[in-house]
Amino acid sequence: MNITAGAAGRWRLGDLTVNRLGFGAMRLTGSAVFARGTPSNREQAIAVLRQAVELGVNHIDTAAFYFSPLRSANELINAALAPYPDDLVIVTKVGPGRDPAGEWLPTARPDQLRGQVEENLRQLGRDHMDLVNLRRQSDMASMTDHFGALAELRDAGLVRHLGVSGVDPQHLAEAQAVAPVVCVQNRYSIDERSSEDVLRVCGEQGIAFVPFFAIAGAKRHPGAGDSAADPLTSVARAHDATPAQIRLAWTLHRGAHVLAIPGTGDPDHLTDNVAAGAIRLSQTELALLDSSDPAGV
């Protein structure tokens, strides 16, 4: 009998409740945002999305700029899951984007954000987004204007809730001065812990903290750097699990407000990822993983 996403527990995204083990759609397209990979077979990608929902995943992270010459994450989600289950929460992000040729566009102006939100709605076949994250870019002097533009879309009914991505506590406070923030999505993993202060602030305020690249190692490859001698491998052996599953379990142990959105185009990897939500690490194991040298993992 398969373990379901409910084994990881639940948390809130505003007034929406989701299982803490979700799904990230980026890798379905073969795109790693700045790099290009090989997209999953379309039929297999659609099957993986349906399997995720069957396994209890009710939180899917996507973006209109998750596409490659052959695949669009939003189109795959639409084809696989529409009409959408009532409890399915789809989260997107805006700010950066791609032009029609697929070239990276680092930052949209505030007045361009409505177009980005509407593009997500069109691709997904929806009349509103459950949650939109503003992805902060380094050339944003302040969050205020961009987040204010999204707050207007929330007031207009196009967006239900707002979040931020790639931020520190000061950026979060800037956004909160404009409108409520229900989640923060930052890069964070066992070997990339620069967002510890944001994680702590989110916990204090009851805001969901949603790491991306939680499985990826220092070089953004699954399990990068894992070796037979490192703590991840020894803990994984003790649980008859993979190092990637222990990375996910460690992430979920960082706090009840921490969610995980691992992505894959492989049905077996999906099952493994969901099963990681049921792994319970001991205090000794957590101390061993926490004391490992992040630069050496």
Residues forming beta bridges with residue 18, ordered by sequence position = 11
Residue ranges per structural domain of the chain: 12-223+250-279
Q: What is the pTM for the complete model shown?
A: 0.93
Would you state the torsion angle of the CA atoms of residues 246, 10, 44, 72, taken in this order, to the nearest 10 degrees?
-110
For 18, 72, 168, the CA distances from 138, given in Å and listed in that order, are 30, 26, 12
pLDDT average, residue stretch 126-136: 97
Task: Among 34-38, 124-128, 156-160, 230-234, name the one with the lowest average pLDDT.
Answer: 34-38
- The pLDDT score that the predictor gives to residue 67 is 86
- The pLDDT score that the predictor gives to residue 221 is 47
User: pLDDT tier at 99 (50, 70, 90 boundaries)?
Assistant: confident
Q: Which CATH number is correct for 12-223+250-279, 3.40.50.2300, 3.90.650.10, 3.20.20.100, 3.30.413.10? A: 3.20.20.100
Active site residues: 66
Phi, psi of 38 (to 5 degrees): -95, 120
pLDDT exceeds 70 at position 112: yes
pLDDT exceeds 80 at position 26: yes
